[in-house]
Amino acid sequence: MTKQNINVLRSQITTISETSKIDGRGNNAVYFSSSKKQAINFDKIKDWYKDKNSLLYAPKSADAFCIDSKGNQIFIEFKSGNIFNAKAIKSIVEKAYHTAFIYLDLSCQIFDEYRRKSHFVLVYSQGMANKFLQKGDYEFAPALQQIVFKLRGFVPKANRSSIGTKLRFLEGFLFTKVDIMNLETFESYAALNIPDYLPDKF
């Protein structure tokens, strides 16, 4: 990665908590995650990338980028709302694709090297999932399983006529690993696997 691009990424260093902001400003701000581990606000990198390349339409992106204790590149997408519908799933997968290509462009990594050490983590709200379950709007476990299938590239035969056929091949193609976690699981994962500070070089 060039020094210029490293500086661009480092200019957006914040905390995981800040990248998970849901609403509000200042003392009224609401954050999804409470983790104070360092991360890069990839939403802002996406905005910079659009301006730099004079793109007509803004790409989408994951919320955060960080490096775990093993040197893996971790891209994190927080979803505090409903993720159990085709529109939400399509948006998540578009964010994964756009994020991967933006980072590949910035890092100048060989694709195989990038993929080997890149993980994508989707963090959802268990409370929100429980609300849908209680309403009877969704069968939570099958819906969650369907999202995992679509992110990881496996579409059950019965669902191959769905949007899932267009959203395949992320795990093993753009990322070596794709995880979906509720917030509690993610907070434990971050505490154990993500250092307090980002390394000097990415």
The predicted-structure confidence for 73-110, as pLDDT tens digits, reads as follows: 999 999 888 776 778 778 888 999 999 999 999 999 99
What pLDDT, on a 0 to 100 scale, did the predictor assign at position 44? 96
Residue 202 lies in a domain: no
Instruction: Give the confidence band of 173 by pLDDT, cuts at 50, 70, 90.
Output: confident
Which amino acid, 2? T
| pLDDT score of 133 more than 50 | yes
**Residue whose pair of structure tokens reads 């929100």 in the numeric block:** 128
Phi-psi region of 120 (alpha: psi -120 to 50; beta: other; left: phi over 0): beta
Residue 170 lies in a domain: yes
Domain of 38 in residue numbering reads as 3-21+33-193
Residue 145 lies in a domain: yes
Instruction: Give the confidence band of 138 by pLDDT, cuts at 50, 70, 90.
Output: very low
| Structural domain total, the chain | 1
- β-pair type (21-23, 30-31): antiparallel
Residue 126 lies in a domain: yes
